[in-house]
Structures are given as C-alpha cells and as structure tokens.
Amino acid sequence: MFWECPSIPQKYRDEDKKLAEFYRPIERDSLMNEEEKTKHMIEWYKAANALLRGVTFPRQELLGVGQRMIECYRDGVHELVAWSQRQQVPVLVFSAGLGDSVQAALTAAGFQLPNVKVVSNFLDLDDNDKIVGIKGDEVIHTMNKNETTIKNTEYYEMVKERRNVLLMGDSIGDARMVEGMEHCAAVVKLGFLGHNVRDSLPKYLSQFDVVLVNEPSMRLPNAILQLI
C-alpha cells in the first residue's frame, strides 16, 4: 500500500524491493533456527526504516489506496468482525508491517471499530509531513510479536482479564503472539500456510493447533466462533 502512494519516490521503491528480495526468503526459511532468523529480521527492519527517513509523505494518500484494498480481505472477514462487535470481543490486528497502512485498510473496509485495535510500526512525521522514523523504542518484526510488545497498550487493558484466545497467523512467528499471557486458560492457534508448503508444513503443524493450507477464507474461524 505504501508503495502505491503517489508521493513515494521511485528510488525508495527500488531499494525497498531489493531488501525484500533478499530478506523475504530468509523470513520464510523453515530450516533456519529462530535466533539466526531474528537477527536477519532486525537487520531488515532497520535497513527498511533507514530508507524512509527524509521521505515527504502526506498521510491521507493511504486512505485512497485503502479503498483499493477492500476486495483483498479473506472471504468471511466481514462476518468475523461483525460477530466480534456484537459479542463485544476485542480484536487485535498485530502487524510487523506499517501500522499506518493497516489502519487505512481497516478504515476503508469499515473495520476500524472500538473493539478493533492495531499494534504495529507507525510512522513518525514532522510538521512538514517528512518521515523522521518509526514511533516507539522497538520495531515489531515477525519474530517478536508477543504479549510483551502489547503490555503497555490500550489493547492489553481490554484483554488482561480475558482467558480465551483465538489466534490466527500466516507465519511461524505468529504462533508466539500469546507468549507471556499466563492468565489465558484456552488458546486455539490457527495457521494459514500458503507458501513453500512441502518444507514448511511440519514446522507449522508443530506450532499451530490447526494448519489451513492454501485456504483463502475464514470459514473455520467463523465456525468456531459460532459455537461460542
């Protein structure tokens, strides 16, 4: 989404693409150990964030791009969000990407509701709409999305006394998003696997309770929620 904004210079797009081409295969490597992969993810995010500094970026451009993202959601997301609103169940969108893009996509689809919170990396802009960096002390990447990252957020206050979690993710690191939440009594982990299936499936099966292979819909999560 960020690349699609008119103000983003081609030089940034080219350099960011080079980083993705180098680090994405590492992110998806099913054989690399966690410590080594985490080191590479930190390198990637630091390099990507360095590219952002100095870019002039009117934030409202993302809202226009967000309108084009409405059709990209998995089939059944609308039903899931509607159920969570009716039942007053908090929903966390935990993203290692750019939070500004996530919020724009949610807003365009009508999903930016009081019970839906985003924990992610947000742009820090000066008074002239120039990017000076990413807000916060720690960058969220695919290997550190867990409870310690949300401890001091509005979302944590909503869930600190709730004991049941339905976790959904499409990377191995996502399976750890509830680490540290000792108060949880029941956690069901659903993994969506859509790449490098043959090599990745055994590891996904070891980390998630259920693995959905090349599944574009939210039928199973919605079926679970309808039983509650």
The verdict on residue 4 lying in a domain is: no
The verdict on residue 119 lying in a domain is: yes
Question: Is the model's pLDDT at 195 over the cut of 90?
Answer: no
Residue 214 tokens read as: 């090349």
User: What is the structure's pLDDT at 113?
Assistant: 94
SS3 76: coil
The verdict on residue 184 lying in a domain is: yes
For residue range 5-51, list pLDDT tens digits in order.
Answer: 999 999 999 999 999 999 999 988 878 888 898 899 889 988 988 89
The verdict on residue 5 lying in a domain is: no
| Nearest to 165, CA basis, from 106, 156, 200 | 156
Residue 125: which CATH number?
3.40.50.1000
The verdict on residue 1 lying in a domain is: no
State which residues form the domain around 105.
Answer: 10-226
Q: Where are the beta strands (DSSP E) in the chain?
A: 91-98, 116-121, 123-125, 131-134, 164-169, 186-193, 210-213
The verdict on residue 63 lying in a domain is: yes
CB 165 within 8 A of CB 181: yes
Helices (H) and strands (E) in the chain, counts: 9, 7
